[in-house]
Structure 1
Amino acid sequence: MKRYVIYRRVSTTDQGKHGHGIDAQKRDIALFLQNFSEEPFEVVKEFEDHLSGKTADRPELAKALEMVRKTGAELLVAKLDRLSRKVSFIATLMDDPKVKLRVASMPQADIFQLHIYAALAEQEREFISARTKAALAEAKVKGKKLGGLRPRTEARNKALQVNAKARAERVAGVVLPLRAQGVSLRKIAEALNTSGVPTARGGSWQASQVKRVLERLEGGG
């Protein structure tokens, strides 16, 4: 019989946003159990923290992991970021031979794909936020026109360029190692699609888009 220990986490700022609320997590977990779990299954116990993902001390998660290690059940979470937003924590957990992890919103994902997703999500938060602010600040300080463009247009174009580079860097951890191994652009696109990584417009990856990413990463533009 398949056994699960369920863990949910919500913070005050997350409540009701982007499907992070407790009700949304319960819904996603129920959908997983109804449609993707092996049968029969048993929910051993449920745990719930009301803390920020940045908080290292999460007592209910510690209890959930203790029960997982003791019973051999799988730890089931609605989304990967409900477990943690730090890829280092998730990677350490995945290396624990006594912990098996399942993510309801990615029911078919294996450990390798979950690790990629965690790394990309962390990079996205860091790069897009920090570098967009830096680009806008730089354009404001310079306060000059390029090619007859108004300062606002210049700043906007600069921000677009920075965002494009940030998105390229977001997938660098997948694209560059595969390319170094001689994997084709088409196969790299398939790997990104399989891992559930969306393009800038939320679509599927094509070889031409992977090529542009490599050009941005290698050319610095």
Structure 2
Amino acid sequence: MKKYVVFYRVSTKKQGESGLGLEAQERDISIFLDTYSEQPYKVISKHTSVHSGSDIENCPYFQEALEACKNTGATLLVAKVDRLSRKVSVFSRIIEEVNIKVAMMPNADKFQLHIYAALAEQERDFISKRTKAALAEAKARGVKLGGVRPGHDKAIAARKEAASNRAEKLRPLVLELLKTNPSYSSLAKRLTELKANGKKWQTTQAKRLIERLELNL
């Protein structure tokens, strides 16, 4: 039986809380497993992180995923190459440690994935230089760059207050669930089953909820 350890990553808390970035990755992983994977298969574990791709080696959730692969002989499955790392040097080290499959490149082997990662890094470097050049030209023409928009701080404060209010409404339910499900993943699963706030909960969202309520897990 083919075994997988699935790793999801988003770069910002906003992406993690909205679930948008994670939903796309979950969809791609599902398509891969249903269409391209060896059958039968088993997903050993899933790991979700809100972390920068440029510093993935220092991400504890990623290290957990690596260890799970090494301990079980499972293949590390990600939606896209850049969900592992945006640095080809780091990506190269990872593919030497464990077997990897990328959902959006289902038939690619290690060599092909390495080439793709290298090309993607070159493209990002060029885009960065192009953006800097465009900003420099705009500044030379007298265009005002950057700056905080009016009302920006108030908008942020309003969003935080709304999030806190939503969290408080869930406090009684969360306290009850933690009695029998004392983990972020279990809490996320039960909140999803109970359709709390009418959404599918991710582990990172459950963790953030606990932090907002200032509870200890």
TM-score when scaled to structure 1? 0.57
CA shift at 1:13, angstroms? 7.0
Which residue is equivalent to 2:106?
107
Specify whether residues 94 and 134 from structure 1 end up closer, same or farther in structure 2 by C-alpha distance, changes over 3 A only. Answer: same
Give the 3-state SS of the residue equivalent to 2:61 in structure 1.
helix
Q: Which residues of 2 match residues 167-206 of structure 1 at below 5 A?
A: none
Opposite residue 44 of structure 1, the aligned amino acid is I
1:77 pairs with 2:89: no
Q: Which residues of 2 match residues 41-190 of structure 1 at below 5 A?
A: 41-56=41-56, 57-96=58-97, 99-131=98-130, 133-134=132-133, 137=136
CA shift at 1:136, angstroms? 7.0
CA shift at 1:135, angstroms? 6.8
Which residue is equivalent to 1:171?
none
Contact 2:13 2:50 in 1 (8 A): no
**Separation of aligned partners in 2, 1:20 and 1:119:** 27
CA shift at 1:139, angstroms? 9.8
**Separation of aligned partners in 1, 2:129 and 2:14:** 21
After superposition, the C-alpha distances for 1:138-170 in whole angstroms (9 at most, x for unaligned) are 7986xxxxxxxxxxxxxxxxxxxxxxxxxxxxx
Question: How well do the aligned residues superpose, as a CA RMSD in angstroms?
Answer: 2.5
Give the 3-state SS of the residue equivalent to 2:91 in structure 1.
helix
% of aligned pairs identical?
A: 58
1:32 pairs with 2:32: yes
The answer to which structure has the higher helix fraction is: 2
* 32-41 vs 6-15, which moves further: 6-15
Task: Figure out how many residues of one structure are paired with residues of the other and give that number.
Answer: 139
Contact 2:10 2:22 in 1 (8 A): yes
Contact 1:14 1:21 in 2 (8 A): no
Structure 2 portions without partners, runs of 5+: 141-217
**Separation of aligned partners in 1, 2:72 and 2:127:** 41
Specify whether residues 14 and 104 from structure 1 end up closer, same or farther in structure 2 by C-alpha distance, changes over 3 A only. Answer: farther
**Separation of aligned partners in 2, 1:54 and 1:89:** 9
Give the 3-state SS of the residue equivalent to 1:105 in structure 2.
coil
TM-score when scaled to structure 2? 0.58
Contact 1:53 1:85 in 2 (8 A): yes
Contact 1:14 1:20 in 2 (8 A): no
**Separation of aligned partners in 2, 1:14 and 1:78:** 19
